[in-house]
Amino acid sequence: MKRKQLVVGNWKMNGSLSDNEALLDGLTRADGLSTLDVAVCVPYIYLAQAQERLGSGSVSWGVQNVSEYDAGAYTGEISVTMLADFQVSYGLVGHSERRSLYAESNELAGIKARKLLGVDITPIVCVGETFEQREAEQTFEIISAQLEAVIEQIGLENLGRIVLAYEPVWAIGTGLTASPAQAQEVHGYIREQVALLDKVAAGAVRILYGGSVKPDNAEKLFRQVDVDGGLIGGASLNLIDFLTICRLAT
Ligand code: PGA
Protein backbone atom coordinates (compact mmCIF):
# COMPACT_ATOMS: atom_id res chain seq x y z
CA MET A 1 0.00 0.00 0.00
CA LYS A 2 1.17 3.52 -0.72
CA ARG A 3 2.03 5.83 2.13
CA LYS A 4 -0.36 8.74 2.80
CA GLN A 5 0.55 11.29 0.17
CA LEU A 6 1.73 14.77 1.10
CA VAL A 7 1.65 17.80 -1.17
CA VAL A 8 3.43 20.92 0.03
CA GLY A 9 3.36 24.33 -1.63
CA ASN A 10 6.53 26.40 -1.41
CA TRP A 11 5.51 29.99 -2.04
CA LYS A 12 9.13 31.21 -1.92
CA MET A 13 9.30 35.04 -1.76
CA ASN A 14 5.87 35.59 -3.30
CA GLY A 15 2.53 36.80 -2.03
CA SER A 16 0.67 39.78 -0.63
CA LEU A 17 -2.01 39.98 2.03
CA SER A 18 -4.76 40.17 -0.57
CA ASP A 19 -3.41 37.52 -2.96
CA ASN A 20 -2.78 35.15 -0.05
CA GLU A 21 -6.29 35.62 1.27
CA ALA A 22 -7.83 34.30 -1.93
CA LEU A 23 -5.39 31.39 -2.05
CA LEU A 24 -5.74 30.42 1.61
CA ASP A 25 -9.52 30.73 1.66
CA GLY A 26 -9.70 28.69 -1.54
CA LEU A 27 -7.66 25.95 0.12
CA THR A 28 -9.83 26.00 3.22
CA ARG A 29 -12.98 25.65 1.16
CA ALA A 30 -11.64 23.00 -1.23
CA ASP A 31 -13.01 19.49 -1.06
CA GLY A 32 -11.34 16.28 -2.13
CA LEU A 33 -8.33 16.81 0.13
CA SER A 34 -9.33 14.56 3.00
CA THR A 35 -7.32 11.52 1.91
CA LEU A 36 -3.96 13.26 1.71
CA ASP A 37 -1.94 15.76 3.70
CA VAL A 38 -1.62 19.26 2.25
CA ALA A 39 0.50 22.16 3.50
CA VAL A 40 1.77 25.51 2.30
CA CYS A 41 5.16 26.94 3.29
CA VAL A 42 4.64 30.69 3.39
CA PRO A 43 7.02 33.61 3.96
CA TYR A 44 7.43 34.17 7.71
CA ILE A 45 5.59 37.47 7.62
CA TYR A 46 2.42 35.74 6.47
CA LEU A 47 2.41 33.02 9.13
CA ALA A 48 -0.20 34.76 11.26
CA GLN A 49 -2.40 35.13 8.20
CA ALA A 50 -1.95 31.46 7.27
CA GLN A 51 -2.74 30.40 10.82
CA GLU A 52 -5.87 32.56 10.92
CA ARG A 53 -7.16 31.51 7.50
CA LEU A 54 -6.23 27.81 7.57
CA GLY A 55 -6.73 27.23 11.29
CA SER A 56 -10.20 25.74 10.93
CA GLY A 57 -9.46 23.48 7.95
CA SER A 58 -7.39 20.46 7.03
CA VAL A 59 -4.53 22.27 5.26
CA SER A 60 -1.41 22.86 7.40
CA TRP A 61 1.16 25.61 7.16
CA GLY A 62 4.90 25.69 7.29
CA VAL A 63 7.99 27.82 6.75
CA GLN A 64 10.79 27.86 4.21
CA ASN A 65 13.70 28.34 6.59
CA VAL A 66 14.59 28.78 10.26
CA SER A 67 17.55 29.99 12.30
CA GLU A 68 19.96 27.44 13.70
CA TYR A 69 20.17 29.54 16.90
CA ASP A 70 17.77 29.61 19.82
CA ALA A 71 17.59 33.34 20.60
CA GLY A 72 19.73 36.43 20.85
CA ALA A 73 21.66 38.85 18.69
CA TYR A 74 20.92 37.38 15.25
CA THR A 75 19.44 40.30 13.36
CA GLY A 76 16.80 39.29 10.87
CA GLU A 77 16.52 35.68 11.98
CA ILE A 78 13.54 33.62 13.22
CA SER A 79 13.86 30.86 15.83
CA VAL A 80 12.05 27.55 16.14
CA THR A 81 10.28 28.63 19.33
CA MET A 82 8.82 31.61 17.47
CA LEU A 83 7.52 29.21 14.84
CA ALA A 84 5.96 27.02 17.50
CA ASP A 85 3.91 30.06 18.64
CA PHE A 86 2.19 29.96 15.25
CA GLN A 87 1.44 26.20 15.26
CA VAL A 88 3.73 25.61 12.33
CA SER A 89 3.68 21.98 11.14
CA TYR A 90 6.52 21.85 8.60
CA GLY A 91 9.82 23.57 7.92
CA LEU A 92 11.86 23.25 4.74
CA VAL A 93 15.57 22.73 5.29
CA GLY A 94 18.35 22.48 2.76
CA HIS A 95 16.32 23.84 -0.12
CA SER A 96 18.64 24.24 -3.09
CA GLU A 97 18.04 28.00 -3.17
CA ARG A 98 19.23 28.22 0.44
CA ARG A 99 22.24 26.10 -0.46
CA SER A 100 23.19 28.00 -3.61
CA LEU A 101 22.16 31.59 -2.80
CA TYR A 102 22.93 31.62 0.94
CA ALA A 103 25.78 29.12 1.02
CA GLU A 104 24.01 26.75 3.40
CA SER A 105 25.93 23.55 3.96
CA ASN A 106 24.80 19.97 4.40
CA GLU A 107 25.67 20.28 8.08
CA LEU A 108 23.59 23.44 8.52
CA ALA A 109 20.57 21.71 6.96
CA GLY A 110 21.04 18.97 9.55
CA ILE A 111 21.30 21.41 12.45
CA LYS A 112 18.13 23.18 11.33
CA ALA A 113 16.31 19.85 11.03
CA ARG A 114 17.38 18.98 14.58
CA LYS A 115 16.18 22.33 15.91
CA LEU A 116 12.79 21.92 14.24
CA LEU A 117 12.35 18.43 15.68
CA GLY A 118 13.07 19.91 19.10
CA VAL A 119 9.78 21.82 18.92
CA ASP A 120 7.90 19.05 17.08
CA ILE A 121 7.91 20.74 13.69
CA THR A 122 8.46 18.24 10.88
CA PRO A 123 11.53 19.09 8.81
CA ILE A 124 11.17 18.61 5.07
CA VAL A 125 14.76 17.86 4.15
CA CYS A 126 15.52 18.77 0.53
CA VAL A 127 18.22 16.93 -1.37
CA GLY A 128 19.21 16.96 -5.00
CA GLU A 129 21.99 17.24 -7.55
CA THR A 130 22.88 19.99 -10.01
CA PHE A 131 22.92 19.43 -13.75
CA GLU A 132 26.73 19.18 -13.76
CA GLN A 133 26.67 16.63 -10.95
CA ARG A 134 24.13 14.51 -12.82
CA GLU A 135 26.19 14.71 -15.98
CA ALA A 136 29.25 13.61 -14.02
CA GLU A 137 27.25 10.66 -12.60
CA GLN A 138 27.58 11.98 -9.05
CA THR A 139 23.86 12.07 -8.26
CA PHE A 140 23.84 9.25 -5.71
CA GLU A 141 27.06 10.37 -4.07
CA ILE A 142 25.79 13.94 -3.63
CA ILE A 143 22.47 12.81 -2.23
CA SER A 144 24.11 10.35 0.15
CA ALA A 145 26.31 13.10 1.54
CA GLN A 146 23.32 15.42 1.97
CA LEU A 147 21.35 12.69 3.75
CA GLU A 148 24.20 11.55 5.96
CA ALA A 149 24.87 15.06 7.22
CA VAL A 150 21.25 15.40 8.29
CA ILE A 151 21.10 11.98 9.93
CA GLU A 152 24.28 12.74 11.83
CA GLN A 153 22.58 15.77 13.36
CA ILE A 154 19.13 14.38 14.07
CA GLY A 155 20.21 10.89 15.13
CA LEU A 156 18.98 7.57 13.79
CA GLU A 157 16.14 7.47 16.27
CA ASN A 158 14.54 10.46 14.54
CA LEU A 159 14.66 9.12 10.99
CA GLY A 160 10.95 8.35 11.15
CA ARG A 161 10.08 11.94 12.07
CA ILE A 162 11.22 13.73 8.94
CA VAL A 163 9.97 14.14 5.40
CA LEU A 164 12.44 13.98 2.53
CA ALA A 165 12.16 15.85 -0.75
CA TYR A 166 14.13 14.97 -3.85
CA GLU A 167 14.53 18.14 -5.86
CA PRO A 168 16.94 17.90 -8.78
CA VAL A 169 18.39 21.41 -8.90
CA TRP A 170 18.22 21.43 -12.69
CA ALA A 171 14.45 20.97 -12.53
CA ILE A 172 13.61 23.72 -10.04
CA GLY A 173 11.83 26.66 -11.63
CA THR A 174 13.24 25.72 -15.02
CA GLY A 175 10.26 23.98 -16.57
CA LEU A 176 12.43 20.85 -16.88
CA THR A 177 11.12 17.93 -14.85
CA ALA A 178 12.76 14.65 -14.02
CA SER A 179 11.02 11.93 -15.98
CA PRO A 180 8.93 9.61 -13.80
CA ALA A 181 11.64 6.96 -14.27
CA GLN A 182 14.43 9.34 -13.26
CA ALA A 183 12.47 10.40 -10.19
CA GLN A 184 11.71 6.79 -9.21
CA GLU A 185 15.35 5.80 -9.61
CA VAL A 186 16.49 8.43 -7.11
CA HIS A 187 13.54 8.00 -4.74
CA GLY A 188 14.19 4.26 -4.69
CA TYR A 189 17.84 4.90 -3.96
CA ILE A 190 16.99 7.27 -1.09
CA ARG A 191 14.63 4.73 0.44
CA GLU A 192 17.29 2.03 0.16
CA GLN A 193 19.78 4.25 1.95
CA VAL A 194 17.32 4.83 4.78
CA ALA A 195 16.55 1.08 4.89
CA LEU A 196 20.21 0.31 5.51
CA LEU A 197 19.84 2.23 8.76
CA ASP A 198 16.26 1.59 9.76
CA LYS A 199 13.87 -0.64 7.81
CA VAL A 200 10.75 0.55 9.59
CA ALA A 201 11.57 4.21 9.00
CA ALA A 202 12.32 3.44 5.34
CA GLY A 203 8.86 1.98 4.89
CA ALA A 204 7.21 4.95 6.53
CA VAL A 205 9.25 7.98 5.45
CA ARG A 206 7.60 10.12 2.81
CA ILE A 207 9.78 11.18 -0.08
CA LEU A 208 8.35 14.08 -2.07
CA TYR A 209 9.38 14.98 -5.58
CA GLY A 210 9.96 18.65 -6.40
CA GLY A 211 11.02 20.52 -9.52
CA SER A 212 8.55 22.01 -12.02
CA VAL A 213 5.63 19.81 -10.94
CA LYS A 214 2.57 20.98 -12.86
CA PRO A 215 -0.97 19.68 -13.34
CA ASP A 216 0.08 18.01 -16.60
CA ASN A 217 3.07 16.04 -15.26
CA ALA A 218 2.07 15.37 -11.65
CA GLU A 219 0.04 12.22 -12.17
CA LYS A 220 2.80 10.12 -13.71
CA LEU A 221 5.31 11.28 -11.10
CA PHE A 222 2.96 10.53 -8.21
CA ARG A 223 2.26 7.06 -9.60
CA GLN A 224 5.86 5.95 -8.98
CA VAL A 225 6.07 3.57 -6.02
CA ASP A 226 8.56 5.61 -4.05
CA VAL A 227 7.11 9.05 -4.78
CA ASP A 228 4.87 10.03 -1.88
CA GLY A 229 3.73 13.44 -3.04
CA GLY A 230 5.26 16.70 -4.18
CA LEU A 231 6.96 19.91 -3.17
CA ILE A 232 5.43 22.48 -5.46
CA GLY A 233 6.91 25.92 -6.15
CA GLY A 234 5.50 27.99 -9.00
CA ALA A 235 2.31 25.98 -9.43
CA SER A 236 1.40 26.39 -5.75
CA LEU A 237 0.74 30.09 -6.33
CA ASN A 238 -2.22 29.28 -8.55
CA LEU A 239 -5.16 27.88 -6.60
CA ILE A 240 -6.59 25.80 -9.44
CA ASP A 241 -3.21 24.34 -10.40
CA PHE A 242 -2.28 23.55 -6.81
CA LEU A 243 -5.61 21.89 -6.06
CA THR A 244 -5.39 19.89 -9.28
CA ILE A 245 -1.94 18.65 -8.28
CA CYS A 246 -3.19 17.78 -4.78
CA ARG A 247 -6.08 15.77 -6.19
CA LEU A 248 -3.76 13.94 -8.58
CA ALA A 249 -1.84 12.71 -5.55
CA THR A 250 -4.82 10.88 -4.08
P1 PGA B 1 9.19 24.71 -8.81
O2 PGA B 1 9.90 24.80 -7.37
O3 PGA B 1 7.98 23.83 -8.64
O4 PGA B 1 8.82 26.13 -9.13
O5 PGA B 1 10.17 24.14 -9.73
C6 PGA B 1 9.99 23.68 -6.53
C7 PGA B 1 10.77 24.04 -5.30
O8 PGA B 1 11.74 24.81 -5.40
O9 PGA B 1 10.48 23.57 -4.19
Domain segments of the chain as ranges = 6-248
Average pLDDT score, the chain: 97
Q: What is the mean pLDDT of residues 27-46?
A: 96
pTM beyond 0.85: yes
For ligand 1, mutation pick of 7, 125, 166, 213 (most atoms within 8 Å of CB)? 213
Using CA atoms, how far residue 151 sits from 62, 111, 128, 144, in Å, is 21, 10, 16, 10
Short-list 98, 97, 117, 119, CA closest to 108? 98
**187 flagged as catalytic:** no
d(CA 65, CA 43): 9
For 177, the enclosing helix (H) or strand (E) is: none
Q: What is the mean pLDDT of residues 30-46?
A: 96
d(CA 61, CA 195): 29
Instruction: State how far Cα 209 lies from the chain centre.
Output: 9
CATH C-level class of 6-248 = alpha beta
Ligand 1 centroid to Cα of residue 72, in Å, is 32
| Whether pLDDT at 203 is above 80 | yes
User: What is the pLDDT, as a whole number, of residue 248?
Assistant: 97
Which atom of ligand 1 is closest in space to residue 236's alpha carbon?
3
Which atom of ligand 1 is closest in space to residue 210's alpha carbon?
6
Confidence of residue 1 (pLDDT cuts 50, 70, 90): low
| Whether pLDDT at 175 is above 90 | no
Using one digit for the tens of pLDDT, what is the confidence trace for 70-95? 999 999 999 999 999 999 999 999 99
**152 flagged as catalytic:** no
Ligand 1 centroid to Cα of residue 16, in Å, is 19
Residue nearest to ligand 1 atom 2, measured at CA:
233
